[in-house]
Amino acid sequence: MAAATIARRANDGSFDVVPYTASGLPGRWAQTLPGPPTPVNQQQATVDPWVMTSNDQFRSGPPPTLTSLEYTAAFNEVKAIGAATSATRTEDQTAAALFWEAATGPGPFIRVAIDLAPGRGLSTIENAALLARLTTAGGDAAIAAWDDKVLYDYWRPVTAIRGAASDGNPDTTADGSWTSLINAPPHQSYISAHAIVSGAMTTILGDTFGDATSFCVSAGAYNRCWSSFSGAGLDSASSRLWGGIHWRFDNEAGLYAGRQLGQFVWDSRVFDAVPEPSGWVMLIAGFGLVGAVLRKRSQISESAGRT
């Protein structure tokens, strides 16, 4: 199955090279040092989806305009709480930002599934189905995220705060030396890929084990615990604001889309077309019966040959 899947996905667009030219306009992506001069992973927007019906199935509405009240509030919020030297960010928020910088991608949630499954008595087939749902949802989450990123080409907070003099908003003030707690990833801000992946995978985990499940995750030197999957998803999304690399609306749109995607994957029952444990028992019993019949026929044939 693995070999067949790899072969089928050989030309899914994952390795396409997509040209990009920075517009230089206010509100649009610009290089964030020490990152490369062009945003990475632009081909993700057009990769063949795994479970989604189309790449834009969970597309978010546009981010707020630069002169809106929502943008002004988000600007001032991330400028204060996401700064490297923030005086408003709590110790726990700092810990969350650093933890989720280390625990990026789908890996932490796959680890949780592996750790929890034995205690819930999941069969081999049920474990395989769970991991298939998680990994394909994670893949589709990345596709959906870049569908938005490429479409809206939105700037990062560090670009916006340093270049606020050009945004046409009299209520934002530029700070040319502003620095975020963690380095901005080298791709567009809206929506948060971290948030959509977390939303999708925690939804599937909640549907599998029950949302009110306590668990912990380790990443490098960091460890963090939650009392629910939805709480972990929110913590993951919010950490990008606390780290100064995403706007609040990036995280909210990403988390919402991720939860919708995760529920879609769960409801589709796409990996249910395999025998349940009782079905395997019947199959094994059937194989045993067939084997017994063949052995009896062989014995009869040998006996006939001797006579």
pLDDT in tens, the chain (307 residues): 788 888 989 999 999 999 999 999 999 999 999 999 999 999 999 999 999 999 999 999 999 999 999 999 999 999 999 999 999 999 999 999 999 999 988 999 999 999 999 999 988 899 999 999 999 999 999 999 999 999 999 999 999 999 999 999 999 999 999 999 999 999 999 999 999 999 999 999 999 999 999 999 999 889 999 999 999 999 999 999 999 999 999 999 999 999 999 999 999 988 885 555 554 454 455 545 545 544 554 454 444 444 3
Query: What's the confidence (pLDDT) of residue 99?
Result: 96
Q: Return the DSSP state at 154.
A: B
Query: What's the confidence (pLDDT) of residue 105?
Result: 85
Q: Which residues contact 133 (CB under 8 A, 6 or more apart)?
A: 204, 265, 266, 270, 271
Element (H, E) at 217: strand 215-219
Q: Which residues contact 288 (CB under 8 A, 6 or more apart)?
A: none
- Tally the C-alpha atoms within 13 A of residue 53's C-alpha that lie toward its C-beta: 4
Contact 171, 77 (CB under 8 A): no
Q: Which domains, ranges and CATH numbers included, belong to the chain? A: 32-271 (1.10.606.20)
Contact 227, 107 (CB under 8 A): no
Query: What's the confidence (pLDDT) of residue 2?
Result: 82
**Which pair of tokens denotes residue 206?**
């909640």
Can you tell me the distance from the alpha carbon of 60 to that of 232, in angstroms, rounded to the nearest whole number? Answer: 22
Element (H, E) at 214: none
Element (H, E) at 280: helix 277-306
- Tally the C-alpha atoms within 13 A of residue 302's C-alpha that lie toward its C-beta: 6
Is pTM beyond 0.95 here?
A: no
